[in-house]
Amino acid sequence: DADVTQTPRNRITKTGKRIMLECSQTKGHDRMYWYRQDPGLGLRLIYYSFDVKDINKGEISDGYSVSRQAQAKFSLSLESAIPNQTALYFCATMDRVNEQFFGPGTRLTVL
Binding mask 68-107 for another protein (x = CB under 8 A): ----------------------x-x-x--xxxx-xxxx--
Contact 94, 31 (CB under 8 A): yes
Q: Verify binding: residue 12, another protein, rule CB under 8 A.
A: no
DSSP 78-99: ESS--GGG-EEEEEEEE-TT--
Residues that bind another protein (CB under 8 A): 4, 31, 33, 40-43, 45, 48, 50, 58, 90, 92, 94, 97-100, 102-105
